[in-house]
């Protein structure tokens, strides 16, 4: 095995002096040099024209290199476990090695994050060898693609039409989701700031964007890519993963329907599904990494279960690494994988497929172990296992640790908010819960695929004289149906339990169900093999049927998102790609983008405030919609940020104490707009109350709508009665401020003040 691994290294060394290798590695070096010297995001944020064209060209090139960076590490490990010296650059091998590499990279980046090694030199040092190692495979893959072009003319017309559709849909997703500066409310408020805080601190230890530590610390490839390029890198990483997911979906459907158009049609449906996704499917967040990984996990699982012997463990190893990556990226998904594989193991045991059942037990153990380790790390570093289910986990919390980090007040606020959500959760047996399940699984959009597929499968069984067990002889079909079925079952169980408490959030989170349902639907359409001699089933088996069903589902999707209202989405993205607009223009583009408020991602008042205070100077906002996506603009707000770790003293202490704590933390500027809802309970404090604010703060700037406040000084003006009256009205009209349980918080802290350290969890009202 060592000899064969050395053989691969010798092959790389033999090509190291060839022009192709020098061009390949030189391209990556040029990419890194350009990003660090040009730095379009920070230095040319408002620039149009050629710099933006070159910028987007290098970003596309980075997606290409990112694939090979991830692939190289996975391929090296899979070669070692399988004993193969090299592999032909087939789609199957490339996808398998990529998912294995994804797991390894996320483990490595997690370790580097806790060692505070998130620096540009380290990122270059670990990525450059990976690029070099991937050259033989990249060369072979490019050559294979080039030589497969003539095959196009030999394809049936429906296959060519489907492939053309995939190319068009993929290009649109690249333009709209991959390149165009996008995002949504959550991304503008806290996701982006957490990513930036990690990069600024060169490590993963808890920071002021406190609760994102529980969600995003595992996004290692996001952080690596940001170090190598710029802050807009996460959407490039997601696009890369989604492209590989499309390939994995193709392979999974091909295993079920190898001689049909269904593999390509499924990829077309999956890709086009993401062209426009209002309120979900944002490539800047980590949700779609879960989507990509679950496709790979399903495909690799069904291939691993089909293996008769243990001579080739590649699929099992790669699947385990992909599961580890998914849990590291998002701890909560661990419960999903444990549930799926435990149920699958029990089912296979009952069917007497004992070897397959043991593999599922191993996958469940992998997911459970990584999840447990993640929760232990959370507890050690923050004093809290996880912020979800806080009403149940509060008695186990380390209140002293939370207090030391300054997160205790935020956790108490979270507890109160969660109790409110529980009180208002959807009734279990209700139309709303049914709708939540249907929409979480996207069955409202994909019902023709699944519903008609189930009907076709049922008709085949009804008209066949064979028994069901005899009809399920194809292992790929059997295992795919079993895995996707249990995935949907567990997803339904989660939506009816935790999902009813936070239906909007769960709908965004459950985007991973999209490829699962597509794969299930495609499998149902092809459960017969061969089809009985019934005309309807013969039509269903044709390439025309897959195209018709795909077109019908896409028509429903486009009607659901009201595509006719968002026709500018492609033109805006294309305009940015060719330099017609700047990054700044893209962020404030109004148009009809469904996820933007009228001011886009940069609130006008926030822009003016930023121009006064400058980069990297915190501005505490009383609103959640005062977005500021300008470079190094720090618009902080409740309760994404823990406010200097002294929120309790600022809220409950004297005005002088609050000013001292804020100044010590470097928070000297405060933002208020009379056209935005006040979402911060800060006006209930002594220093910010309408009755006393004029005595402690002054105007640094105002345009009559928005105001930048700071401590009184020579460059400020007093708050007059008119301003105070407007401020008082905004505070009075805010249900969030008026409904805040300040008395309960004061009682809790009075109790803690009388308690000796270390503090313990107390019963909460």
pLDDT tens for residues 634-673? 999 999 999 888 899 999 999 999 999 999 999 999 999 9
DSSP β-ladder status, 698-702 and 706-710: antiparallel
Cα 393 from Cα 6, distance rounded (Å): 50
Between CA 641 and CA 643 the distance in angstroms is 6
- C-alpha–C-alpha distance, residues 366 and 483, integer Å: 17
Q: Whose CA is closest to 94, among 289, 222, 250?
A: 250
- 3-state class of 641 per DSSP? coil
Q: What is the pLDDT of residue 590?
A: 60
What are the tokens at 260?
């049909």
Residue whose tokens read 């899979």:
78
Please enumerate in sequence order all residues whose Cβ is within 8 A of that of 695, keeping only pairs 6 or more positions apart, or say none: 655
What is the reported pLDDT for 591? 52
Average pLDDT over residues 69-78: 96
Whole-model pTM? 0.95
- Structure tokens that stand for 440 in this block: 């979480």
Average pLDDT of the chain, as a whole number: 91
Better pLDDT: 361 or 151: 361
Which residue would you say has higher pLDDT here, 21 or 238?
Answer: 238
Determine the pLDDT at residue 592: 46
**DSSP code at position 189:** I
Average pLDDT on 473-495 reads 92
**Percent share of the chain, pLDDT over 70:** 92
Q: Does residue 7 register a pLDDT over 90? A: no
pLDDT at 607 exceeding the cut of 90: yes
Burial class, 170, CB count within 10 angstroms (exposed 0-12 / middle 13-18 / buried 19+): buried
pLDDT digits over 375-394, tens only?
999 999 999 999 988 999 99
% of the chain beyond a pLDDT of 90: 79
Section 314-323 average pLDDT: 96
**What average pLDDT does range 84-104 have in this prediction?**
87
Residue 707 pairs with which residues in a beta bridge? 672, 702
pLDDT at 509 over 50: yes
Cβ atoms within 10 A of the Cβ of 431, count? Answer: 9
pLDDT of residue 214: 96
Helices 192-201, 220-228: inter-axial angle, 10-degree rounding: 70
CA distance 398 to 206: 15
Per-residue pLDDT, averaged over 151-158, amounts to 75
Q: What does the angle CA 489 – CA 495 – CA 498 come to, to the nearest 5 degrees?
A: 130
Contacts for 661 with CB less than 8 Å, ≥ 6 apart: 644, 646, 649, 650, 653
Cα dist from 137 to 86, 133, 721, 723, whole Å = 9, 8, 71, 66
pLDDT, residue 469, reads 47
What is the band of 155 on the pLDDT scale with cuts at 50, 70, 90?
Answer: confident
* CA–CA gap between residue 527 and residue 548 (Å, rounded): 18
How many degrees, rounded to 5, is the angle at CA 163 between CA 157 and CA 165?
A: 105
Query: Per-residue pLDDT averaged across 97-107, rounded?
Result: 98
Contact 250, 269 (CB under 8 A): no
Query: Which pLDDT value is given to residue 11?
Result: 64
Environment class of 396 (CB within 10 Å of its CB; exposed 0-12, middle 13-18, buried 19+)? exposed
pLDDT confidence band for 160 (50 / 70 / 90)? confident
d(CA 41, CA 269): 33
pLDDT band, very low/low/confident/very high, at 595 (cuts 50, 70, 90) = low
Region 728-742: what's the mean pLDDT?
96
Crossing angle for the helix pair 333-350 and 314-329, to the nearest 10 degrees = 150
Q: What pLDDT is stored for residue 698 in this prediction?
A: 97
For the chain, the distance separating the N- and C-terminal CA atoms, rounded to the nearest angstrom, is: 63
* pLDDT level of residue 238 (50, 70, 90 thresholds): very high
Following DSSP, what letter does each residue of 69-127 receive, concatenated? HHHHHHHHHHHHHHT-S-----HHHHHHHHHHHHHHHHHHHHHHHHTT---HHHHHHHH
């Amino acid at each position: 095995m060592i000899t064969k691994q050395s053989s691969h290294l010798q092959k790389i060394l033999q090509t190291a002096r060839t022009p192709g290798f020098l061009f390949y590695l030189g391209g990556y070096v040029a990419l890194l040099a350009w990003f660090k010297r040009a730095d379009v995001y920070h230095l040319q944020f408002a620039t149009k024209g050629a710099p933006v064209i070159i910028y987007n060209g290098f970003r596309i090139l980075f997606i290409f290199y990112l694939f090979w960076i991830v692939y190289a590490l996975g391929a090296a490990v899979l070669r070692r476990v399988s004993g193969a010296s090299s592999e032909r650059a087939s789609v199957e091998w490339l996808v398998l090695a990529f998912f294995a590499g994804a797991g390894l990279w996320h483990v490595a980046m997690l370790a580097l994050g806790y060692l505070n090694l998130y620096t540009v030199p380290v990122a270059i040092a670990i990525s450059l060898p990976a690029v070099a190692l991937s050259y033989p495979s990249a060369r072979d893959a490019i050559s294979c693609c080039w030589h497969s072009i003539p095959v196009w003319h030999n394809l049936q017309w429906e296959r060519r039409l489907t492939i053309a559709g995939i190319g068009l849909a993929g290009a649109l997703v690249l333009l709209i989701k991959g390149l165009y500066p996008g995002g949504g409310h959550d991304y503008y408020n806290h996701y982006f700031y957490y990513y930036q805080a990690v990069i600024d601190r060169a490590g993963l230890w808890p920071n002021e964007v406190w609760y994102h530590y529980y969600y995003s610390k595992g996004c290692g490839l996001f952080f690596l890519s940001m170090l190598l390029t710029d802050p807009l890198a996460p959407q490039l990483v997601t696009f890369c993963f989604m492209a590989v997911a499309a390939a994995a979906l193709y392979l999974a459907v091909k295993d079920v329907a190898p001689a049909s158009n269904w593999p390509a049609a499924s990829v077309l449906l999956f890709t086009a599904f993401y062209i426009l996704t209002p309120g979900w499917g944002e490539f800047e967040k980590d949700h779609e990494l879960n989507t990509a990984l679950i496709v790979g996990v399903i495909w690799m699982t069904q291939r691993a279960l089909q293996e008769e012997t243990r001579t080739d463990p590649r699929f099992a190893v790669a699947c385990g690494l992909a599961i580890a990556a998914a849990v590291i990226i998002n701890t909560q998904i661990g419960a999903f994988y444990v549930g799926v594989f435990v149920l699958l193991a029990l089912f296979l045991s009952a069917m007497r497929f004992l070897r397959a059942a043991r593999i599922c037990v191993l996958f469940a153990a992998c997911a459970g172990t990584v999840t447990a380790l993640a929760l232990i790390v959370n507890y050690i570093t923050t004093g809290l296992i996880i912020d979800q289910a806080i009403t149940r986990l509060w008695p186990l919390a380390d209140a002293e640790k939370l207090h030391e980090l300054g997160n205790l007040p935020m956790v108490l606020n979270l507890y109160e908010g969660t109790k409110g959500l529980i009180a208002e959760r959807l009734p279990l047996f209700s139309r709303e819960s049914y709708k939540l399940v249907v929409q979480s699984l996207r069955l409202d959009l994909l019902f023709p695929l699944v519903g008609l597929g189930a009907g076709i499968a049922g008709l085949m069984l009804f008209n066949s004289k064979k028994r069901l067990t005899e009809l399920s002889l194809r292992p790929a079909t059997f295992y795919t149906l079993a895995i996707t079925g249990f995935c949907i079952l567990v997803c339904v169980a989660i939506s009816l339990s935790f999902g009813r408490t936070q239906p909007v959030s769960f709908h965004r989170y459950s985007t991973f169900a999209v490829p699962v349902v597509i794969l299930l639907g495609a499998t149902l359409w092809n459960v017969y093999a061969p089809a009985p001699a019934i005309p309807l089933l013969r039509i269903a088996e044709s390439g025309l049927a897959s195209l018709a069903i795909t077109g019908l589902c896409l028509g429903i999707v486009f009607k659901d998102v009201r595509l006719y209202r968002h026709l500018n989405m492609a033109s805006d993205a294309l305009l940015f790609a060719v330099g017609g607009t700047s990054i700044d223009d893209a962020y404030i583009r109004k148009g009809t983008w469904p996820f933007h408020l009228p001011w886009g991602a940069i609130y006008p008042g926030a822009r003016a405030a930023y121009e006064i205070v400058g980069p990297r100077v915190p501005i505490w906002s009383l609103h959640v919609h005062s977005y500021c996506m300008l470079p190094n603009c720090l618009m902080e707000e409740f309760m994404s940020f823990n406010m200097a770790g002294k929120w309790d003293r600022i809220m409950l202490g004297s005005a002088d104490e609050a000013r001292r704590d804020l100044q010590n933390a470097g928070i000297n500027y405060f933002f208020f707009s009379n056209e935005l809802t006040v979402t911060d309970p800060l006006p209930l404090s002594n220093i910010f109350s309408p009755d006393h604010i004029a005595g402690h703060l002054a105007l640094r700037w105002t345009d009559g709508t928005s105001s930048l406040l700071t401590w009184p000084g020579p460059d400020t003006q007093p708050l007059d009665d008119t301003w105070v009256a407007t401020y008082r009205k905004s505070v009075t009209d805010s249900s969030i401020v008026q409904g805040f349980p300040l008395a309960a918080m004061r009682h809790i802290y009075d109790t803690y003040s009388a308690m000796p350290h270390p503090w313990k969890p107390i019963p909460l009202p």
